[in-house]
Structure 1
Amino acid sequence: MNNLAIYENEEFGTVRTVVVDGEPWFVGKDVAEALGYSNSRKALLDHVDDEDKGVTNCDTLGGNQNLTIINESGVYALIFRSKLPNAKKFKHWVTSEVLPSIRKTGSYNLPGTYKEALQQLLIQVEENERLALENSEMKPKAEYFDDLVDRKLLTNFRDTAKELGVKPKKFLDFLEDKKYIYRDAKGTIKPYSEKNDGLFELKEYKGRYSSHAGQQTLITPRVREVFRLLLK
């Protein structure tokens, strides 16, 4: 059974979090309601990929309950599709207050590998640079830096196509035609190695509700900006 950490926001209400295997997860219902979704269950089903959500048993005021939880990627998926005018403000609250608080209280496990240590160091450096900009009363530059940090989030092909304003099939056809990606024998999308210079990342995943596992090709901010120009 996992213990919940509760975060309160005057505008967005209560968001419960839990750390699973050293990683932060959010109670999906709380995030969906904070972002203005009228049907939280439908929002999680429609907008959050299976590998980005799961179920955990937690001790709540109503006793032990199985709660649907989502990871950071799932939170960003709900933010991206939210019609709430202040969705960006919610994202800023999560990234500037909630996640740093989890790190500060030691909820994260120590990095187990050199790569994990570098990733955590990068996060800390980015946060320090953002704070330095704000403290220097360089708000416009600080906001621009926040946007750059945001773009470091990986997205799938469907979300990227929507962001670029094109249909997913057209986007995939374009990438295949230009030899950026191909499909392997199982039909899984993979990037060509000679063109994968920071454009794509392969992420291992395992289904939360099934034994299905595999690799998913995700798109980096660099490729989004490149194809935004190419598709104009």
Structure 2
Amino acid sequence: MHNLTVIHQNGQLLVDSREVAEMIGVRHADLLEKIDGYVKHLLNGKFRSVDYFIESEYQDTTGRTLKRFLLTKKGCDMVANKLTGEKGVWFTATYVAKFEEMESALREPYPNLSPEVKAIFFLDQRTQEIESRVERLEVSKTIDYGQQLELQNLARRKVLESLGGKEGQAYRNSSLRGKVFSAIWRDFKDYFNIESYKNTLVRDLDKAKEYINSWRPQGKLLREIEEANRQMSFS
């Protein structure tokens, strides 16, 4: 009667609606119907229903996928507030105790260890957290000013090369030169899916250099460059 399992999932403490239904002595289908009503009222009142009830699924013994809810402590409070009599008291006493037990276990995962050993575990946990943060920073870190200049210089050389050198008519055409600069950065941003070359990730820097070095003008732009340089050769 008093069995209730609190699970720790995605940083939340939750209980299964099937266990709740069993504790308060109602059919699971009837409890689901009531919770659907609570969710509707919460949403109408502009409350976040997932702070109370999280819709989920489970498989029964025949392999069917069926609906369930995972209830937060707030969700249990809401269900308990609608109950009267002995079963309501039992449910309230049980879920409050179970949530407190789990919260205590999360705060103090090794209650029987000596203070010295606990300190080692805590230090190891903190080290892992710091390493995880550093790893996330390294993954998301963008290039610094010096690296941005490096890409700019590579792009200038590539534009100069693509236009046929400073002596070429294409390079002397400032409008055409601007088109090539626009094209190389537009293609670069599309390839790396970023809004600016300044947002290039440090881990992508070598790939970015390789991309610029291998870039070539295409299509209409290439024909404009060839036509401009061809006109110089005829003059």
Question: What is the TM-score when the length of structure 1 is the normalising length?
Answer: 0.33
Name the structure where helix makes up a greater proportion of residues.
2
Report which of the two structures shows the higher radius of gyration computed on alpha carbons. 2
Question: What is the TM-score when the length of structure 2 is the normalising length?
Answer: 0.33
